[in-house]
Amino acid sequence: MLSDREIIEGCLKHSRKAQQLLYDKYSRFLLGICLRYASDRAEAEDILQDVFVRVFFNIDEYSGTGSFAGWLRKVAVNTAITNYHRTMKHRYHVDIDEYKSMETGSVSFEEDLFSADELGRVLNELPPGYKMVFNLYAIEGYKHREIAEMMKIDVNTSKSQYSRARAMLREKLSHLRDLRKSYQADSNNEDGE
Amino acid sequence: MERKGKYSDVDDLFRNRFSGYEPVPGPGLKARLMKKVAVKEFFSFYPARFNVYYLAVAAAVTGAVLLVTLGGGSGKSLPETMKIPGDSVAAIMQPITDTASMTHSPGVAPVTGKTPAFTTGNRPSDSHKESQPVIFSADEVDRKTVKSDAVSVTVDPIREVANPVRGDTTLQKTAVSSFKMSVSSGCAPLVVELTSTSGNAHSLQWSSGDGRHSDGKSLTWVFNQPGSYTVSLKAIGYDGSEDNASAMIVVHPSPVAKFDVSPANREVSDRDIMLFNYSAGFLTAAWDFGDGGKSHLRDPLHSYKASGKFRITLKVSNEYGCFDTLSKVYSTAPGIYRIDFPNAFIPNNNGPTGGYYSLRSDEAAYVFHPEYEGVTDYHLVVYSRTGVMLFESRDLNIGWDGYYKGQLCEPGVYVYRARGRYANGEQYQKSGDVTILRFR
């Protein structure tokens, strides 16, 4: 396996082999990011393709100082945002503004209760804008100010959408957990008898 | 067996769960990507990747240029270009000859006029006039109209005499099938009355084209689903001969009118009511608001100047002229004037919002603002319990976001006073206390 440096040098020369190695090494990592932003797998793979095209053609923009994975992640997030802006035009978009629930108390979740796939699905149930903001803030760790710039929204919108998204996720997850618990209780009862 | 990482924060839960999340991309993706990259690289011409393809394309382009310069002089390409208009003319001619042959096709009797007519078939195999089956068709036709309403058509385009060898039998004994329909096309549900005009038939067999059968002389069928149906009638003669006639019935889809009014029953007549059109399968909408107002918008706004009961009617129609109407009675009462304030609210703890709110957005929940009707003049002041003026607004659209000089106010009791004037000129003054609650 070649090192990142060798792969990058190969890609700079547009070597097909280096590009394939780059794909083999990072496609799964990047798909994991794309999936969180896309509404389904097909869209995620489309974004992933765009990400790699961008990476291959703009690899000279990578300064070489920071971590390469971090740079790839940034490209992926930017591509996902571009894609979001593009698809928003085509989607019939309803924001759940009537949603009036507040966070009630603190609820804790065991990590093992939910798989990444399930969390992804719950995330996908959020309105598209909420999902973007939550992804960027909570998982990618951007500041609200940066998100506002990237998404071309107001800082306060970013803040309120984030808190809203969090409340909704919390509610959805606890609902899911309760469902699962009752299911487990049922199956336990059956086992006992 | 299991890791018991407990997360009280959803952020951490998601971040940790997704940190090692590396799903495998679909198998074809890599190939597609590489293809895309190859194409893109090709067109952006990287000298680093200069290869034989560029040479091939260059050769092809040169070849093409040479061909054009040589071929242009000799006029070789001329017939090729001439061919295209010829083809298109033929293509245009095609449908015309088709329709022409249809109207003159053997067996079809396009008789316009009220009198029943006897026509003779033109089958090449039937050389004797006596042997030809006589076709009786009673047409009351206006073939030009394809519109839905009240056209009576008799069509019998497909006609088969079961046994043409029986040419020498007398004309009375051969069964001849034909029938009349009240309509041939229309909007769903389409009611079609069918009457047999067959001759020499001792039994009839109808088939509707959607699985129904009958044997009566005249019958009524209802076609609920849009589509085209071939109705056929088989007549069986006394001598056992059979004859078929069939006709096409086209049922157009009908729109379904449905709408909602918001607010459901307005008590004040000074604001617009919103009408939401939920109709299905329509092209145009026509609204009648019952007070003389009309609109052709999809989702119009309307304001009633007077109070009373009005009948709102929506008529939707589609491209086939099919329509559906729906009426709802809507009542308005004389205007009332009020302004009311809540006694508690929860400010947004993410920072000051400026207090602008819209009742349709969720910002309204975080802002201290009145519920009002018929207010023209407005002045709201909020004080702390120590008497400091925290907020002042003369704009009904701007409420208090719970911040004072950028700082979120402590949960507790605050005092407000509102003064102003209603639309009818009457003055109002309201004061009271409002409690700030903590966000969570």
CA distances B418 to A36, B358, B376, B377, B424, Å, are 48, 20, 13, 10, 18
Do the beta carbons of residue B233 and residue B206 sit within 8 Å? yes
pLDDT at B435: 92
Question: And the tokens for B194?
Answer: 């069918």
Q: Which residue in chain B has the smallest CA separation from A42?
A: B26
Of A97, A106, A138, the CB nearest to B11: A138
Higher pLDDT, A130 or B114: A130
Burial class (CB in 10 A: 0-12, 13-18, 19+), B81: exposed
Domains and CATH numbers, chain B: 30-155 (no CATH), 170-252 (2.60.40.10), 254-335 (2.60.40.10), 337-440 (2.60.40)
State mean pLDDT over B207-219: 83
Whether B149 has a pLDDT exceeding 50, the answer reads no
pLDDT at B135: 41
Cross-chain residue pair B18–A32, CB shorter than 8 Å:
yes
Q: Which residue from B141, B149, B209 is spatially nearest to B180, judged by alpha carbons?
A: B141
Cross-chain residue pair B10–A53, CB shorter than 8 Å:
no
pLDDT at B266: 55
For the segment B30-56, what is each residue's pLDDT rounded down to a tens digit?
888 888 888 887 777 666 556 666 778
Cross-chain residue pair A139–B15, CB shorter than 8 Å:
yes
Q: Is the N-terminal amide bond of B263 cis, ω within 30° of 0?
A: yes
pLDDT at A102: 45
pLDDT at B268: 53
Question: And the tokens for B27?
Answer: 């198998």
Establish if B202 touches chain A: CB-CB under 8 angstroms.
no
Of B8, B25, B351, the CB nearest to A45: B25
pLDDT band at B169 (very low <50, low <70, confident <90, very high): very low
Question: And the tokens for A7?
Answer: 């792969």
Cross-chain residue pair B348–A160, CB shorter than 8 Å:
yes
Helix (H) or strand (E) holding B6: strand B6-7
Least trusted range by pLDDT, from A143-147, B24-28, B57-61: B24-28
B321 secondary structure, DSSP code: S
Do the beta carbons of residue B6 and residue A110 sit within 8 Å? yes
pLDDT at B164: 42
Whether B251 has a pLDDT exceeding 60, the answer reads yes
Do the beta carbons of residue B285 and residue B300 sit within 8 Å? no
- Neighbouring CB atoms inside 10 A of B373's CB total 16
Q: Which residue from B430, B425, B370, B359 is spatially nearest to B396, judged by alpha carbons?
A: B370
Share of chain B above pLDDT 70, in %: 68
Establish if B11 touches chain A: CB-CB under 8 angstroms.
yes
State mean pLDDT over B267-271: 57
pLDDT at B380: 93
Do the beta carbons of residue A148 and residue A160 sit within 8 Å? no
State mean pLDDT over B184-201: 85
Cross-chain residue pair A138–B14, CB shorter than 8 Å:
yes
Distance, in Å, from the CA atom of A34 to the CA atom of A40, rounded to the nearest integer, reads 10
pLDDT band at B152 (very low <50, low <70, confident <90, very high): very low
For chain B, first and last CA: distance in Å? Answer: 36
Cross-chain residue pair A159–B7, CB shorter than 8 Å:
no
Share of chain B above pLDDT 90, in %: 7
State mean pLDDT over B408-419: 90
Whether B206 has a pLDDT exceeding 50, the answer reads yes
pLDDT at B156: 44
Q: Is the N-terminal amide bond of B189 cis, ω within 30° of 0?
A: yes
Whether A82 has a pLDDT exceeding 60, the answer reads yes
Beta-strand ranges (E) seen in B58-132 are 117-120
pLDDT band at B276 (very low <50, low <70, confident <90, very high): confident
pLDDT band at B13 (very low <50, low <70, confident <90, very high): confident
- Top-ranked range on mean pLDDT: pick from B105-109, B117-121, B305-309: B305-309
CA distance B79 to chain A (A): 46
Q: Which residue in chain B has the smallest CA separation from A110?
A: B6
Establish if B37 touches chain A: CB-CB under 8 angstroms.
yes
- Residue B110 neighbours by CB under 8 Å, 6+ apart: B103, B139, B141, B143
Whether A41 has a pLDDT exceeding 70, the answer reads yes
Distance, in Å, from the CA atom of B55 to the CA atom of B139, rounded to the nearest integer, reads 73
Distance, in Å, from the CA atom of B88 to the CA atom of B412, rounded to the nearest integer, reads 83
Which residues of chain B are within 8 Å of residue A41 when distances are taken between CB atoms? Answer: 26
Least trusted range by pLDDT, from B108-117, B200-209, B290-299, B334-343: B108-117
DSSP 3-state percent helix, strand, coil across chain B (nearest 5): 20, 35, 45
Whether B80 has a pLDDT exceeding 50, the answer reads no
pLDDT band at B82 (very low <50, low <70, confident <90, very high): very low
Domains and CATH numbers, chain A: 4-88 (1.10.1740.10), 96-192 (1.10.10.10)
pLDDT band at B416 (very low <50, low <70, confident <90, very high): very high
CA dihedral of residues B261, B263, B265, B266 (deg, nearest 10): -120
Higher pLDDT, A192 or B203: B203
Q: Which residue from B278, B304, B300, B305 is spatially nearest to B287, judged by alpha carbons?
A: B300
**Mean pLDDT computed over every residue of chain B:** 73
Q: What is the DSSP string of B353-394?
A: -TTB--TTSGGGGGSB--EEESEEEEEEEEE-TT--EEEEE-
Of B18, B36, B351, the CB nearest to A159: B351
